A and B are shown apart, each in its own frame.
Chain A
Amino acid sequence: EPEVTQTPSHQVTQMGQEVILRCVPISNHLYFYWYRQILGQKVEFLVSFYNNEISEKSEIFDDQFSVERPDGSNFTLKIRSTKLEDSAMYFCASNLGSIYGYTFGSGTRLTVV
């Protein structure tokens, strides 16, 4: 069964450093998303991406965040200057449209120290 692949599985970074989280969505999917989950808390929407542009973003997704689809397969989330409160599990998801559901990757645990 096709999977959404995320790398790395765990990243530790110093506060103020830039991080790039990488995702390979399912190859024929059209919509791409980033969500995050602070430990023990609810899942929060960050951004959706379609047709090479951001479709929607949340208040969390401020100027420190950016997304890119640099080639036909990768979808990245960049945090420019990490803060302690950015520590969370970040999930990438993709789909063909919401009526088909959303497929999530295994997540990247980001720890900012």
Chain B
Amino acid sequence: ELKVEQNPLFLSMQEGKNYTIYCNYSTTSDRLYWYRQDPGKSLESLFVLLSNGAVKQEGRLMASLDTKARLSTLHITAAVHDLSATYFCAVDVHSNYQLIWGAGTKLIIKP
């Protein structure tokens, strides 16, 4: 059974600081996705990572994928309050058919 583990599950940080969220998964996959969810809202796609060594950046967020280590990271640079949300990673199993999700990291950024 594929397991996807995120850590930390909760992160409170000050504006301007850097931090990294980790996503480990237990079986071979080369497709990993990061989503953002605001309270009571939908799942907003942030990054689609499709190969070993993939790195993508959007604003203050950068995601990377190491398929050999079965690890993806979401790095936040110089955090701002607007980035407060829950961040999920999800791994594609059986291509096109199913995503397995991490438990989510609730990020609170204090002004």
Contacts and interface: CB of A to CB of B under 8 A. Distances in A.
Q: Is the interface on chain B under 10, 10 to 19, 20 to 34, or 35 or more residues?
A: 20 to 34
A35 interface: yes
A45 interface: yes
Given A42-B102, A42-B104, A106-B41, A98 B92 contact: yes
B100 interface: yes
A103 to B, nearest CB: 7
B58 to A, nearest CB: 13
Nearest to A49: B97
A99 B48 contact: yes
A44 B99 CA distance: 8
A99 B45 CA distance: 13
A104 B43 contact: yes
B42 A106 contact: yes
B31 interface: yes
Interface of A: 31, 33, 35, 41-45, 48, 50, 55-56, 58, 91, 95, 97-107
